[in-house]
Structure 1
């Protein structure tokens, strides 16, 4: 198979572009970002399908919005085909035509034409680039064999997956040296059950009493568990209601908002507003002329510009002089509040850094939880103390046991000599019996000799005080060890309960012994948070006073805009002094100032008329008048939001939340339900602890189960072992059969590929490496000097040359079975100049039998014979 023509409708940066290809070597030259990788992905996408939209970086949707897709003309077995793929579901909409016979084929015929090559094999073997050539570092013989089997037998990919799956399933069932497989575990369990069954033959009286007590407590546990589940449902429902309260409040606020009035916004009102604004503009111009005249007079009188502004706005500024004392006091108060705020914030931040390691402060304990934690800590302390006492007692018993062991000196006691005497007597009688006449007498004499020797060695030794002492010490040690195990289980249970409490209150990262200090710090943090809120409110009030004063000053005296408050207060004090100094002068300056005041008065009247016009329509500015219809649109959005919130809450949730007047009332109901749930949980935990104690006592009495139960378990286990062994055997045999069948289908192509790859590798490396060998786990190569090297010992460029040689050999050898074009996208960037030229020559040689599409940015490639395509043309 070879490609004849690529026609791109729209793919990446290309649109309405056609590329003609020949059967041999095709060289596509272009600089970076010219579209080489785009062209490579286009060939793969049209033949095998577009990637899903979950991988947009591989789809290459057209940048200019043109039609997504294209067509490829290719020839296979003397028949010319045209495949077209455009945007659509399941990899795109495909059209396939047989151009030779002028037939339209179903789209499902395309995969059959490309068999046995699928997208995975095409991209891993026939499409090469620099990153994919680097996979040789992890290549193995098995991977190449799997590729051969995939091409050698149609449908082998399914059987390869089946064989791999069966192998994994067999390994999960049994491994000779494994521990986790099912059959290995069953064999271990069989051994343990057999040992337990041999020991489970006593202590049945107490066992049945414990068993009846256990059944009673289990029934009680079931009733408590049912009550707890019901309470959990109630608590969870209330908690969902509490979580939905902010949404409910927002819905209520939107529902209570009054609609905007629609009167007073006609065209006639707009004309009236324009008349008022025009008059305001005219008076402002007159005011500016008076101000200019006053400025010229002031320059002659050497009056500051600020005082000039004051003369034009005396009616506005004079009342502000009376507020100077109040504003000064408010400024000092603000400085003090900001200092307090920084102090509170630093202290709160220090506490958060210490305890809010997860980004959220832990919650304070309730009274019940506080008492529960104290009780658990007290129990855990008592358990730890008891364990230390038992450990000390165990150490003492172990020391006594060591001292009670017999020494050499003790071995030479009279009792041991007596044992030797009994043994010697038994031996003499046994030997003498051999000389007695008659078999029956010999047998009786031998039995007497053995009995006398046994009595001397075992019976006499068992009656010694030292042996009885050792037996008593052994029993005591076992009893102490059992108590230590039981105490350890109790400590683990108490620790788990404390950890559960810590996790529920956000204290999981804090040691238990630091909880008391943490609760104190949490309380202080909440107090600091309240102080910060109060300080912020006070600061806002004082800041508002200062802000209102500064706004009034900025409007009356633009000269003082954007100046610090301290400077403003000083300037106003200077104005007061200058006003007193110039108050007795009757000059033209004051006359002009009076005219300026009258003009200002008239301007204020026009502004007031404009404000009255807007105020009667519930507006403040002219822009608000013209934006009213935008506000109507926003009102519609709020109505839609209200409906969305109502739908989110649902009728049931709104009805339930309407029963509560405040959020505090709802939280109180939630806390009461939580307390009830905790009480039930505490009762259930107590009963569960009692059941665990009974189970431990039953385990001690029955040695891990009654005889009947153990026998039944053993029988069931043997049945499962038989079924597991049969399944393992079937999976192994099936896997071996599949492997043998596919190996026969692939033939002897692997040695041919290795031989061909060795030849290609020698040409690429200028005969520095002469042979390639497949090992079970990787590849290795031989130097011309005879030394072998692993792939990991090669440089990256040399390793990529090895991978290129193997893939080229694979394509050439398998060309008789399946002919696919080789697409190489800038895969030689790590080759030096000499080996790059050798690679060019090798590609030209291979192009005589296999179609090669070589995309590169190297302009020196022009010397290669073949079809040359420039992307920049």
Structure 2
């Protein structure tokens, strides 16, 4: 089954989610709480039903909406496209299954599609997660091996749990040498009670005597009870006799009447018997008349259908010859086939002789030795020829390759040599390259000078800008001070203050002088170039020198020299390769010479074999073994030809015998004996069938005639018998005719009614317990009353004796009770029996678990012998692959249910000796092996939930590569680890963190 689409209406927190185009290997990635476990549970629930409320497994019922369920679309190997929809309904949900052909069904159809697989088995085999690995972490060392064995058998630890639970129950009940188990404790108490019982038994002499007296007294009381019961029964019987006295009076009256009429002799049911005889006689007499007429007609018809007795006497002979007719036709066909085959064999023999250029016949072909030994020699020679021919072709191909390689190397070396420079040219180019190197240094120096000039110029520009800013500030300050001093001077003049006016003019003059001096220094700085002129002069000189060297093409010279150096190296390499090629060429020549020598020897052996096959010396044999097979076939053809000739002679004799016998029979019984053989056979068969039909009809008529005669005879006897029965009735009634017989019957009927009443009275008396003696006693009522009084007195006397015995019994019981105080023998005996019963019941419970353990062990042993080897073989391959060959074998324990793991250095480890990571890899190996053994039968999806997160990078990659090989099963991997995603293509991954991408439209 291949899931192609998942549509979740509502399941847990997922609502209206649709995932389509699922791949063969599909990864569901999501962080915690993204919905991975919900989707896994949804798949299980749709396929097998929602979990019940009382189960531990969550139902994932939506909290915020009422929609519950969804559908899965899948491809089935036999049914095509299948849609499985399960929604809220009964406990497991209501399921609807739709097939591609329009069929719609429910749980039964789904169960059929799942091949009878239930949820537990599916989860155990095809769905596994970290829980299995966590179980390994939690187990003790000695339990790991048995857990791995259980996983290989059932996919889960059910086998281990069952074995552990059974052993726990056995240990709880009994342990050899134990003290706390139930059976051990009960056995100890039982032994102590038995010893106390034996001790009390020795002290119970008086107790036994009292017990014997008690039993005798109880027996006497029982006897008196019986005697009292008998007396009370007698009283009851006497009272009943007094009650039935009126019935006895009626009985005496009826008896008197019957005695008066006397005995009436009449047969039982005589009237009805007489009427039945009359009713039966009438149809019998009519049947006799009809049968006599029918017998006359059948006799006439039988005479006209009398068969030919002579022909019927030959029936077996004719049938036998007719049965041989198909054999005759078969013989004719076989003869034709053999004649044709004989012609083909003769023609093939002639063709073979032509192919071999010989003239073999039965005598000459028998002289040729075609034994197995000769055939093996011929086959060996032909195989060697084939190998030699293959060697020759390989040598020729190698020779051509080596020759072509040598010529190519020689041509390449010659061509490369022509491209090399002579010594004079190399010296000239070296001089030009030297000049080029000087020109490059001049260019570098010019660049350096230019860089220095640019740096100085940039520095001057920076200082000039700075001075300009400073000059602006100074001019502003000077103008401000000058204005101030000028205002002071003018103010002094305006105010008539001469000192103040003079001071202002002096300050103004000082400011003007200072300004003029600063302007002169700035002009002096601008005229100073900071060494730029010298750098410009140096640059001009270097440019002049560079122009002088530009007439030489130095760069081309350097390139030519470098190219020639490369060519020189290539040429030296070619010379070395040419020398090695020449050595290989010579070696091929030597191999050719050796091949020719071996070929000559082989041809000599072939010629010897050809002579032994009686072939002409001029005949050229290419394949001696094929020739041997042809000659051996020729021998078989000659033997086949002889066999066919002998068979043809035998067939001719059989044909003659069949045809002559049929002709003889046709001459005897047919009017025209000269007809063709098949026509005669048809007429004989038709004639025989007609006579057989006549005989059958004749016998049938004779049988009918005999039956009619027998029936007539029987019916006439019945008539006589009925008449005799009627006369017997008359004799029994002692009458002469029918009228007297009927009168006698009326009187007899009245007497019978009286007898019936007497019988009814007798029955009532019998029910009342009245016997013959009692009937006589009824005639003496005084005696009955006297006997009744005696019985009542006897009851009173027995009651008095019973009271005395009961007092005696109470005294004896009191004395026994005194002896039993403090734990008597009887109490110990009762206690011992009770304890033994409880011990036996507990032992039965222990035996149940012991039997269950034996059955489990036998089941495990059967699994170990039948299914385990196949599963282990596949698990070993998986383990080798996961561990990169570090562990190579998994060996089951000789006893118990564990594994021994073999490392590549042949060191053996029990499961508890492995590292935790290796134990996990063994678990994954057995789980995948168990799954793969069921692929062909149950191609269900393999569902894995983060079961490889503890593997390192390499082993994770190996297990993913391994899962990709499960082409018969779809693989659904759920993970929350993003580092695994790089192992998959983008189309194989669903990111559950982006649920909006999967919302159904």
TM-score category by the smaller chain?
0.3 to 0.5
**Max radius of gyration: which structure?**
2
| TM-score of the aligned structures, taking structure 1 as reference length | 0.37
Structure 2 length-normalised TM: 0.33
